[in-house]
């Protein structure tokens, strides 16, 4: 039977995947349609989502970092289509790693250090606070901030901020110092893949670029904490997410971690 979804795709994309079996992945929150093939992944977004920076970064990262390689990128009047290689492995939030934090936490630290090790002098995408606060301001002004999955104490009568606008003003007035590194941009556990006991690669590179080093630490720390504390269902007891800092060999800067978690509330 003819697959209507595949038939609706641009020829440049369809020729690589026609007749092949796939599943649809809906674990993310981006609103994109993700088709998973054995060795390829197709990401379909509407024109309001811009994957062009991700394409630049994936092409630039070839040979530098284990990340998807771009096979084809096509735009039409309504959608963008990004076909890339598939990184194999288990998500680092897999049940096995949740039950073996002594294996997981050193691997998460290794993933962060892999990003830091990349020379950024000719990196094509910069995502510093000027650009990120500008994007956040646009989202606040246009009413497109979704507060439904924010931390419980961020907004509302009993929260730290009345609404996204008040949070934005606080972020603008309390910018931390800047330590530029290569940043994944959304370094949560599902985006770090492990195979044979080691980091096999990174996925979802849509926010990758030069940014402050504490941004990735903050996203990884929050994801680690939430995957253990029952936010996503199961509670894994006896785990100390602060061990991540020990594995990184740094003292935690909780003010910066707090800042970048709050900034992410607007995205």
pLDDT at 1: 43
pLDDT at 30: 60
What's the pLDDT tens digit per position in 113-153? 999 999 999 999 999 999 999 999 999 999 999 999 899 99
* Per annotation, catalytic residue among 53, 186, 212, 216: 186
Please give the distance of CA 106 from its chain centroid, rounded to a whole number. Answer: 19
| Whether residue 200 sits in one domain with residue 157 | yes
What are the tokens at 77? 């009047």
| Whether residue 111 sits in one domain with residue 28 | no
**CA nearest neighbour of 187 among 248, 255, 144:** 248
Q: Based on the structure, what is the number of domains in the chain? A: 2
What's the pLDDT tens digit per position in 138-193? 999 999 999 998 999 999 888 999 999 999 999 999 999 999 999 999 999 999 99
Q: Which of 67, 85, 103 is the last residue of a domain?
A: 85
Show the domain range for 189. Answer: 90-264
50 among annotated binding-site residues: no
- 186 included as an active-site residue: yes
204 among annotated binding-site residues: yes
Bridge partners of 23? Answer: 36
Three-state DSSP class for residue 186: coil
**CATH code of 96's domain:** 3.90.1200.10
Q: To which H or E segment does residue 202 belong?
A: strand 198-202
pTM of the model: 0.92
C-alpha distance from residue 248 to each of 14, 86, 217 (Å): 43, 28, 10
């Amino acid at each position: 039977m003819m697959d209507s979804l595949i038939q609706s795709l641009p020829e440049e994309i369809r020729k690589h995947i026609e007749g092949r079996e796939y599943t649809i992945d809906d674990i993310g929150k981006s609103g994109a349609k993700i088709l998973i093939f054995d060795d390829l992944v197709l990401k379909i977004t509407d024109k309001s989502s811009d994957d062009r920076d991700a394409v630049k970064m994936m092409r630039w990262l070839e040979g530098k970092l284990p990340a998807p390689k771009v096979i084809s990128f096509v735009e039409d009047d309504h959608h963008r289509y990004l076909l890339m290689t598939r990184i194999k492995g288990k998500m680092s939030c897999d049940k096995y790693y949740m039950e073996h934090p002594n294996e997981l936490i050193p691997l998460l630290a290794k993933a962060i250090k892999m990003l830091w090790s990349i020379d950024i002098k000719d990196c094509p995408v910069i995502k510093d606070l000027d650009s990120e606060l500008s994007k956040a301001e646009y989202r606040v002004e246009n009413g497109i901030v979704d507060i439904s999955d924010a931390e419980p104490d961020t907004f509302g009568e009993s929260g730290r901020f009345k609404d996204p606008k008040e949070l934005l003003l606080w972020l603008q007035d309390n910018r931390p110092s800047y330590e530029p590194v290569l940043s994944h941009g959304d370094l949560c556990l599902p985006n770090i893949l492990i195979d044979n006991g080691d980091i096999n690669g990174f996925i979802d590179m849509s926010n990758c670029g030069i940014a402050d080093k504490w941004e990735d630490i903050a996203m990884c720390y929050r994801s680690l904490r939430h995957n253990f504390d029952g936010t996503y269902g199961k509670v894994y007891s006896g785990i100390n997410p602060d061990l991540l800092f020990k594995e990184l060999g740094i003292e935690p800067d909780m003010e910066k971690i707090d800042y970048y978690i709050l900034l992410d509330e607007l995205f």
